[in-house]
């Protein structure tokens, strides 16, 4: 793997049309630095909503000129989000990104039935991409931020989102592992029974272009030796591209163990909106925001 593990994202982006990014209340240093880097790489053109004076001041602090970015002045964070969503809804942006504002405020604007960005009949779900040096390739995971306890129908859509994102990132036939505590189908464990049902759906053609298996414990999904020792034969074992977690706790813990203890690089987007939404945490690093813009640009 290369030094950052993400060079392929930018190689893919070199072949993409430059996307139009609107940043909702993009007034903080990390967001502006990430946006500036993405703009310099010709990944995106940029419109930023928020306090114009603060945006210009922070751009100067990080040594980036504002000439190439359009700034739409808004007096409050709520106004800035509403304006960003309005631009996106009216076809003025291909991607939308959360800046310095609470997730609840951002999502409320997106989910507004009359003026939001929710695709009719769609389900929102979070897809993250992790680059951990101990694993031999990037891995896509869902859901670590939006769906607390998805049912079987929601998991079907989550699998479709995972496969779609992985394919657009360049993986022709993603291998998807349905994660549980064990590979055995134990009736009292919904993670296991749902995984078995998802595998049957895949066998019946529900997830074309993917290879799926489960239930599968995490070690079997990412470590060939563990699979060999336990006699678990699967084309997915030890080589998973995508991990579907049974609930938000397991997914969120996996994500944070990777990013907090393993120095993994991360990118994340929300699927189900009219355009890809970049839902970075206010505390996320410049790199995470930058990688998320690059990932979203492949999807948009």
Domain boundaries, the chain: 7-121+273-299, 125-261
Of the candidates 286, 275, 291, the residue with the CA atom closest to the CA atom of residue 43: 291
Q: Which single residue is written with the structure tokens 């100067």? A: 60
Residues of the chain whose pLDDT is less than 50?
1-4
Q: In what order do the strands lie in the sheet with 265-271?
A: 69-73, 44-50, 19-24, 95-98, 277-278, 265-271, 125-131, 139-142, 242-244, 175-179, 211-216
What's the CATH number for 125-261? 3.40.718.10
| Pairing, β 125-131 against β 139-142 | antiparallel
| Pairing, β 125-131 against β 175-179 | unpaired
| Cα 57 versus chain centre, distance | 30
| Pairing, β 175-179 against β 211-216 | parallel
Strand blocks (E) in the chain: 19-24, 44-50, 69-73, 95-98, 125-131, 139-142, 175-179, 211-216, 242-244, 265-271, 277-278
Contact 35, 62 (CB under 8 A): no
Residue 287 backbone dihedrals phi, psi, to 5 degrees = -60, -45
For position 300, what pLDDT does the model report? 77
Alpha carbons 282 and 160: distance in angstroms, whole number? 28
What's the CATH number for 7-121+273-299? 3.40.50.10950
Helix (H, G, I), strand (E, B) or coil at 202: helix
For position 1, what pLDDT does the model report? 35
Look up the pTM and report it: 0.92
């Amino acid at each position: 793997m290369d030094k950052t593990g993400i060079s392929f994202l930018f190689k893919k982006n070199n072949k993409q049309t430059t996307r139009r990014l609107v940043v909702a209340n993009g007034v903080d240093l990390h967001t502006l630095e990430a946006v500036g880097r993405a703009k310099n790489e010709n990944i995106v053109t940029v419109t930023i909503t928020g306090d114009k004076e603060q945006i210009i001041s922070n751009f100067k602090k990080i040594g980036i000129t504002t000439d190439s970015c359009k700034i739409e002045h808004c007096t409050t964070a709520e106004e800035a989000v509403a304006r960003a969503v309005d631009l996106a809804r009216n076809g003025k942006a291909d991607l939308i990104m959360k800046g310095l504002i609470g997730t609840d405020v951002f999502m409320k604007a997106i989910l507004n039935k009359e003026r939001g960005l929710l695709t009719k009949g769609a389900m929102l779900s979070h897809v993250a991409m992790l680059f951990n040096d101990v694993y031999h390739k990037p891995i896509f995971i869902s859901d670590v931020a939006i769906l607390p306890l998805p049912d079987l129908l929601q998991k079907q859509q989550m699998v479709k989102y995972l496969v779609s994102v992985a394919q657009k990132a360049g993986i022709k036939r993603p291998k998807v592992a349905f994660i549980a505590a064990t590979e055995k189908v134990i009736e009292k464990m919904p993670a296991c029974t749902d995984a078995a049902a998802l595998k049957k759906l895949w066998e019946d053609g529900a997830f074309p272009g993917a290879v799926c298996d489960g239930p599968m414990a995490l070690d079997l999904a990412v470590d060939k030796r563990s699979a060999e020792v336990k006699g678990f034969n699967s084309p997915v074992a030890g080589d998973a591209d995508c991990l579907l977690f049974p609930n938000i706790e397991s997914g969120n813990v996996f994500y944070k163990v990777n990013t907090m203890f393993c120095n993994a690089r991360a990118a994340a987007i929300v699927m189900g909106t009219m355009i890809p939404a970049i839902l970075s945490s206010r505390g996320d690093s410049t790199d995470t925001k930058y990688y998320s813009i690059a990932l979203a640009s492949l999807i948009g």
